[in-house]
Amino acid sequence: MFTPGSDIFLQLTEDSDRRKLSPFKVERLSGGVILATPEGETPDLDPGAETIIYFERGREFVKQPATIEAPEASDNGESLPAGAILIRPIGKPVSAEERQCYRTQALLADVTVRINGDDHCNVVDISPMGMSFLSRNSYGTGQILDITVICEGEEYEGRASVQGARDLPGGETRYGVYCADSEQLQKGLQKVSMHVQREQLKRASGKAA
């Protein structure tokens, strides 16, 4: 997947509507960390920065959250090519061309999400792989969030990656995220998504309580 000579692209801006992708060439993959060199001007990337990488897998263009690592901590003391960076992918890649799963509207289903322990938000829509929510806080595209989805008294914890944001009237922002690496969270999203769909069917049939 990350073979020497293959292309990857880093998302450098927090605004997904004006997304800028910076091209890199994979030099090698070692210990789950990609060594890559820029295919143009070297962007300013600090160790610990969170980003999204785009690349081809088979015949599909996919994206995956990642973090930038410090060379002295990850390259075993070897010298790096000029402008090279170290990238650690997080979780699993998903399609960059369209949503992996259909999302179900959740505003009427009393589903909430707690972000980083203290930001309580309403969930707008949800799927087995991700969701969107409303918040007055600022989160960057590619940022990894600790989230807890709450539905029917049950809580499902894990990490999710911010995929996009859209400012709304009234000061709120609608964020789209997808599950980064938590099996518990993914199972929870599947369960909550099914619950929301059942509630919608009940309302449509006039059987809702």
Q: Is the pLDDT of residue 59 over 80?
A: no
Q: Is the pLDDT of residue 98 over 60?
A: no
Q: Is the pLDDT of residue 8 over 60?
A: yes
Please, which pLDDT band fits residue 55 given cuts at 50, 70 and 90? confident
Could you tell me the residue ranges of all domains in the chain? 7-95, 104-205
- Three-state SS for 179? strand
Nearest partner of 150 among 185, 174, 180, judged by Cα: 185
Q: Which stretch, 71-80, 156-165, 198-207, has highest mean pLDDT?
A: 156-165
Element (H, E) at 16: none
Q: Is the pLDDT of residue 17 over 70?
A: no
Class of domain 7-95: mainly beta
Residue with the bigger pLDDT between 128 and 163: it is 163
pTM of the model: 0.61
Residue with the bigger pLDDT between 79 and 93: it is 93
Does domain 104-205 correspond to CATH entry 2.40.10.220? yes
Nearest partner of 141 among 117, 177, 169, judged by Cα: 177
